[in-house]
Structure 1
């Protein structure tokens, strides 16, 4: 990891050009941005929402949770920003990434009261009267078997 620490700057608007090693935080737009900590130079944006990232400011440093997983970037870097320090979190397999994406879609769907966009199950659908309680409830709420 090229950047072991990120200096934070509170800004109204995220600048067009990001300075490496700086975590820009816009409270007005509830988001942060920085260049990837691996040093590849790609822009990384972390929005603050109930289902995305949480930012903690302790008066001196900033932490972001959960980890930053740059799965769509060539570098596929993965790290945590904890009190301004960058801690490498290690690589994830494609299966781990896809499982997290499914979990994220489900979390957003639950929070926003929408039907999740999930892939069809490989297993055959059972008649409704043979489904378990949770599957019947899921079907009633989201209209999927």
Structure 2
């Protein structure tokens, strides 16, 4: 498979078509069948701690790369403007490193989200509230 088209959906279909990147903005997930043709479903979470999907002329770009090191095919590729750009297959060590990196990125994002704002931010917001601007 060398090309993907974008399909914005509410729910990802149970029987996805090859060459389609399904994106559910409501559920913050994208899914496609592996570009190598093995038939494996490849889901990715979207958002600040996950992947991003952009669109140009109906053609998707997804970042970071898709690494299927946990699948038998070990595929690794980018999808850019709907085109598959192949990278080297992922080794077991690369797969572990990528999973650890993803986990660390999510942990840092949610840790920062739950962090109490600094005193000056709270003060500024309080002042804006006093003047009906907050």
Superposition TM-score, scaled by structure 2 size: 0.77
Determine helix, strand or coil for the equivalent of 2:6.
strand
Matched with 1:24 is 22
Structure 1 CA distance for aligned equivalents of residues 88 and 59 of structure 2: 23
Alpha-carbon distance in 1 for matches of 2:80, 2:34: 15
SS, match of residue 93 in structure 2: helix
Instruction: Report the secondary structure of 1:113's partner residue.
Output: helix
Cα deviation code 1:62-96 (max 9, x no counterpart): 10000000111111111101010111111232222
3-state DSSP of counterpart to 2:7: strand
Q: Which runs of 5+ in 2 are unaligned?
A: 113-134
Equivalent in 27, 36, 39 of residue 38 of structure 1: 36
Q: Which 10-residue stretch deviates more, 36-45 or 25-34? A: 25-34
Q: How many residues align?
A: 112
Q: Which has the higher helix share?
A: 2
**Off by >3 Å, runs of 4+ in structure 1:** none
Structure having greater relative contact order (Cα 8 Å, sep ≥ 6): 2
